[in-house]
């Protein structure tokens, strides 16, 4: 059976009601398209664990801080559908902006504490847009499980808290970051990198590994550990937006490493912003 594509909420709900009546579990992978091997891993995991997998492809305008960033975000629906089908999805939901936002929103979702630092400090309103559209999608699809990548660690934490605080009946499943052979975390933004910047980009992962190595060797002062990363990056044309070590549970900065932590970085190569992270448990 070939993959089915729906563009309206009503059509998707009708199709999914049939699946529920047949007793099938529903897995859901929300995306903004421009799919790559990291997305394929999410879809494959869902297809393995659930009876039917739905992939949404929607470039959500409300989570972009800069209009030009939204305008140039790649739209590759045909190849996204092909990858989704190859990875095991049964349905692609590809709504228009008007379908998702028929009227300007008066209701929004804010997850406050978890968005104070990391990307939230530099992208005001971003996580409001993310949380709101994810809640809308979860309400539309009503899946048994929804799958998110660990590369977007702050997003994952926000969604987990959203689901817990608002009693959304879905299990959030995290899938480990998929990396290129040289360590660069897979991202739709990687395709923007010119050859020289692409060559430099794996230094972000190398910097994170340096911090984790220092922690594994007994360093427990966050500032000292972060110096290792800056020494890796100091001669590269990389503008670090943030490099933080935060409590894995609430994403608050820590000074002493005595709890499980997230080591997270955001940096600019030219006009491309990349993020990455690693975890460490003392």
Residues with active-site annotation: 39
DSSP symbol at 188: G
Tokens of 4: 């089915």
The DSSP-derived string for 1-28 is: ---EEE-SHHHHHHHHHHHHHTT--EEE
Q: Closest Cα partner for 156 from 54, 16, 30?
A: 30
Separation between Cα atoms, residue 68 and residue 53, nearest integer Å: 32
Q: How far is CA 6 from the centre of its chain?
A: 23
Rounded Cα distance, 262 and 150, in Å: 11
Distance CA 145, CA 101 (A): 24
Calculate the alpha carbon distances from 104 to 61, 98, 161, 181 in Å: 12, 10, 25, 43
Strands 26-31 and 145-149: parallel
Instruction: For residue 90, count CB atoms less than 10 angstroms from its CB and return exposed for 0-12, middle for 13-18, buried for 19 or more.
Output: buried
């Amino acid at each position: 059976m070939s993959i089915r594509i729906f563009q309206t909420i009503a059509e998707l709900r009708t199709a999914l009601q049939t699946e529920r009546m047949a007793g099938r579990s529903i897995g859901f992978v929300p995306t903004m398209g421009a799919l790559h091997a990291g997305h394929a891993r999410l879809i494959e995991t869902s297809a393995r664990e659930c009876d039917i997998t739905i992939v949404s492809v929607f470039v959500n305008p409300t989570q972009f801080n800069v209009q030009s960033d939204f305008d140039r975000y790649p739209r590759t629906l045909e190849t996204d559908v092909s990858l989704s089908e190859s990875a095991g999805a049964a349905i692609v939901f590809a709504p228009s902006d008007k379908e998702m936002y028929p009227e300007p929103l008066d209701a929004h979702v804010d997850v406050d504490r978890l968005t104070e630092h990391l990307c939230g400090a530099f992208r005001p309103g971003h996580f409001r847009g993310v949380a709101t559209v994810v809640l809308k999608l979860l309400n539309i699809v009503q899946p048994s499980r929804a799958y998110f990548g660990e590369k977007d660690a702050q997003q994952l934490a926000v969604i987990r808290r959203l689901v817990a605080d608002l009693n959304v009946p879905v299990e959030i499943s995290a899938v480990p970051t998929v990396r290129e052979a040289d360590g660069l975390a897979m991202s739709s933004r990687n395709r923007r990198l010119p050859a020289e910047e692409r060559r430099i980009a794996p230094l972000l992962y190398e910097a994170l590994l340096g911090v984790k190595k220092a922690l594994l060797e007994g360093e427990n002062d966050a500032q000292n550990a972060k110096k290792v990363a800056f020494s890796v990056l100091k001669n590269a044309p990389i503008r670090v937006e943030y490099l933080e070590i935060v409590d894995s549970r609430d994403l608050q900065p820590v000074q002493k490493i005595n709890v499980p932590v997230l080591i997270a970085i955001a940096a600019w190569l030219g006009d491309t912003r990349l993020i990455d992270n690693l975890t460490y448990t003392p």
